[in-house]
Amino acid sequence: MVFLHATSLADAVAALSAHPGAVPIAGGTDVMVEVNFDRRRPAALLDLTRVPELSRWWVEDGRVRLGAGIPYARVIAELGDRLPGLAMAARTVGSPQIRNRGTVGGNLGAASPAGDSHPPLLAAGAEVELVSNRGRRRVPVCEFYTGVKRNVLAPDELIEAVWVDSVAGPQQFSKIGTRNAMVISVAAFALALHPERQQVGTGIGSAAPTPRRAREAEELLAGELDAAGLWESRGPLPATLAEEFGSRVCAAAAPIDDVRGSAAYRVHSLRVMARRTLTWAWNDYRKAA
C-alpha cells in the first residue's frame, strides 16, 4: 500500500490520476472501518485532510459552495442559517468525535443509502462538483447515486464540493434510529419548501437501494398548494393534504427488511416523518410571514 499526502487540490488530482486505485480519505469514519477490519486493502490511500480548497465554503450567486472536506461539526457551527436541512442532518450524525472528522464529501463518496447528508441534499436540489485531470463537472445530486454504495465517480475523479441554494424557505429533517447518538438511520426524510419558485423538494434515506426523491409527492404537494393559493395566503395546511403527501412519499420508497428494521416499519415511519416534517415546515412558513 502507498500513502499519498496531498497539500493542494492540484496535488490530489495529479495523485489520483497517477494512482487510479487510490482511495481518498478525509475523516476516515467509513474508510478506516473497512481498513481496520481488513474488508478493504486499497493499493493507495490519498489523504485529503491537508487540501485547503476542500475545507473552505463560500457563497456565489446565491449558492453555497461547500468544500467536500468540511466536517459535520463545521456545517453545524457555520452553516445552520444558510443550509438548515443539512445542518439538522449533520447534528444527528454519529457522535461529537465522528462529527469532528466525518465530511459531507465522504458521505457522498461512500454513497450509503443510509448516509445522513443525502436526504437534505436531495431536498435542496444540490449539485456535486467533481474534478479530475480531465476537468470539472457538476452532477445533480439526484443523479449522483447509481446503486447501493455506488455513485457516478470515475476512478480518477474527486468530489471537490457541493453546491446548494442558500435557503429561501423552510427545511426539515427527520431520522428514525434506536437512540439519539451513534445511529445508522432506519429511515430518514428531508423536506424543503421552495416558495420562491413554488416547488417542494424531498429526500428519502435508508428506504431504497439509493437515497432518492419522492417526485410524485413533491408534485402533488406543490400543485395542491398552488391550486388552493396557499403559497400566497399561507393559510393552514389541510390535514388531508399532509396525509396524501405521506402516502406518496411511501409509494416512492423501495425498502428491504434488514437488521435495522423491516420494510413495513420503514414505510410506516416514512409516512409519519413526511407528515410531521411537512407540518413543521408549513408552520415555519406561516410564522415567517
Query: Which DSSP letter does residue 82 get?
Result: T
Instruction: Provide the β-strand partners of residue 175.
Output: 188
Q: Is 90 in the site for other proteins (CB under 8 A)?
A: no
Shortest separation between residue 71's beta carbon and other proteins, angstroms:
9
| Site size toward other proteins, by CB under 8 A | 29
Q: Is 96 in the site for other proteins (CB under 8 A)?
A: yes
Q: How far is the CA of 54 from the CAs of 34, 48, 66, in angstroms?
A: 23, 8, 8
Applying CB under 8 A, among 52, 58, 97, 235 the residue interacting with other proteins is 97
Contact 118, 203 (CB under 8 A): yes
Number of DSSP helices (H) and strands (E) in the chain, helices first: 11, 13
Q: Is 39 in the site for other proteins (CB under 8 A)?
A: no
Shortest separation between residue 108's beta carbon and other proteins, angstroms:
18
Contact window for other proteins (CB under 8 A) among 1-9, 234-242, 251-259, 268-276: 1-9
Which 47-66 residues touch other proteins, going by CB under 8 A? 47, 49
Residue closer to other proteins by CB (options 75, 123) is 75
Applying CB under 8 A, among 60, 180, 227, 289 the residue interacting with other proteins is 180
Q: How far is the CA of 242 from the CAs of 110, 201, 272, 278, in angstroms?
A: 33, 15, 10, 7
Half-sphere exposure of 15 (CA within 13 A, CB side): 23
Contact window for other proteins (CB under 8 A) among 147-155, 164-172, 175-183, 246-254: 175-183
Shortest separation between residue 235's beta carbon and other proteins, angstroms:
36
Q: Is 98 in the site for other proteins (CB under 8 A)?
A: yes
Grid cell at residue 37: 477490519
Residue closer to other proteins by CB (options 32, 272) is 32
Q: Is 89 in the site for other proteins (CB under 8 A)?
A: no
Which amino acid would we find at residue 110? A
Q: Is 77 in the site for other proteins (CB under 8 A)?
A: no
Q: Is 201 in the site for other proteins (CB under 8 A)?
A: no
Applying CB under 8 A, among 73, 111, 187, 217 the residue interacting with other proteins is 73
SS3 235: coil
Q: How many CB atoms lie within 10 A of CB 196?
A: 10
Q: What are phi and psi of 16, to 5 degrees?
A: -70, -35
Query: Which DSSP letter does residue 146 get?
Result: E
* Closest alpha carbon to 24 in 52, 63, 51: 51
Q: Is 101 in the site for other proteins (CB under 8 A)?
A: yes
| C-alpha Rg value of the chain to the nearest Å | 19
Instruction: Provide the β-strand partners of residue 136.
Output: 131
Contact window for other proteins (CB under 8 A) among 8-16, 20-28, 111-119, 220-228: 20-28
> What whole-number distance in Å separates Cα of residue 47 and Cα of residue 85?
28
Binding interface with other proteins (CB under 8 A): 1-3, 5, 25, 27-29, 32-33, 35-37, 41, 44-45, 47, 49, 73, 94-98, 100-101, 180-182
